Amino acid sequence: MKKFSVICAVALAAIMASCGNGTPKANMQDEVDSLSYAIGMAQTQGLKEYLVQRMGMDTTYIDDFVKGLNEAANAGDDKKTAAYFAGIQIGQQVSQQMMKGLNQELFGEDSTKTVSLSNFMAGFVAGTTGKGALMEMDSAANYADVKIKEVKRKNQEAQFGDNKKACEEFMAQIAKKEGVKELKDGIYYEVLVEGKGEIPADSSRVKVHYEGKLINDTIFDSSYERKEPTTFRCNQVIPGWTKALTSMPVGSTWMVYIPQDQAYADRETGKIKPFSCLCFKIELLGIEK
């Protein structure tokens, strides 16, 4: 039996269409009655987990869920009632998923800031009904795309501005270090082992060993620790890596210092916070043909 899905929910609603508004009572007079009951029960496999994990429902209120379920199932072909329940379902998605997701994307862990629900809903309803819109749909989409990036960046700079300053100071010190050379775009490197092999193109698939550190010497990734080299195309990694790899002869081992704008910039990934400079020991083992 398949786990609960939206399709299963529709089937469940159809099966229960003859039920009353209270908790339904089974009345098994023949094999079809028994079959109907068995199908109804079987279709609920995984339903409670779906309600809790995907819809954020508190099972303390399971009786209220059953009441709403019966009312929706009994609506039959009543288009007005069906539209009302569709609105409730989408509204719950706005509350439990869209708003939480937007706030997390824009403001991270800063709970003092939030998207305006009333303005969000004003735009949502205008877009749905096509009435009273203050923007054209394309204009709204373009404006949202641009402003999401701006607001997110401003908020991250407020939260992680110290990282950016520390990165600038670190790279300034690295630039003065004996034996360090500038590559391009503020990337610096020092040669630990001089290779004599071919230099990869940006589309080349390379085999490397590496270790990545933050400027406080925290190791965040290491193929050496995994005891297994890794392979990838030079153009499938952060810009700082691509520019280093496409300048290194095979057989080289470099220590590469990458400024935040050539690494993950305002993105956060694992131990790497926004605006972090990264330091990599990169050992270019070969180019895979």
pLDDT at 113: 87
Query: Which pairs count as long-range contacts for 46-54, CB under 8 Å and 24+ apart, including other chains?
Result: 46/3, 46/4, 47/4, 47/8, 47/9, 47/12, 49/4, 50/4
pLDDT at 68: 85
Where is the domain boundary, 109, 134, 155? 109
Lowest mean pLDDT among 73-82, 111-120, 215-224: 73-82
Task: Give 71-99 as a 3 state SS string.
Answer: HHHCCCCCHHHHHHHHHHHHHHHHHHHHH
Query: Could you list the residue range(s) of the whole structural domain that residue 250 is in?
Result: 164-288
Same domain, 25 and 104: yes
- pLDDT tops 70 at residue 181: yes
pLDDT in tens, 182-202: 998 999 999 999 999 999 999
Give the Å distances, CA to CA, from 79 to 88, 97, 160, 188, 212. Answer: 14, 26, 51, 66, 59
Q: Residue 94 in contact with residue 121, Cβ under 8 Å?
A: yes
pLDDT in tens, 35-50: 888 888 888 888 889 8
pLDDT in tens, 228-261: 999 999 999 999 999 999 999 999 999 999 999 9
Q: If you average pLDDT over residues 120-131, what whole number do you get?
A: 92
d(CA 253, CA 182): 16
Q: Is residue 145 part of a domain?
A: no
- pLDDT tops 70 at residue 12: no
- pLDDT tops 90 at residue 1: no
Q: Residue 213 in contact with residue 220, Cβ under 8 Å?
A: yes
Same domain, 172 and 257: yes
Q: Is residue 144 part of a domain?
A: no
Instruction: With cut-offs at 50, 70 and 90, classify the pLDDT of residue 23.
Output: low
How far is residue 247 CA from its own chain's centroid? 33
- pLDDT tops 70 at residue 11: no
Task: Report the CATH number that the domain containing residue 222 is assigned in CATH.
Answer: 3.10.50.40
262 vs 101: which has the higher pLDDT: 262
Q: Is residue 139 part of a domain?
A: no
DSSP code for 204 = -
pLDDT in tens, 139-169: 999 999 999 988 888 888 888 889 999 999 9
Q: Is residue 143 part of a domain?
A: no
Same domain, 87 and 199: no
Would you state the structure tokens that stand for residue 123, as one six-digit string?
């735009």
Q: Residue 189 in contact with residue 249, Cβ under 8 Å?
A: no
User: Alpha helix (H) ranges present in 43-182?
Assistant: 47-53, 62-73, 79-93, 99-107, 117-129, 137-176
Q: Is residue 158 part of a domain?
A: no
Lowest mean pLDDT among 16-30, 64-78, 239-253: 16-30
- pLDDT tops 90 at residue 34: no
- pLDDT tops 60 at residue 15: no
For residue 226, the tally of other CB atoms under 10 A from its CB is 10
Strand partners, 281: 211, 255
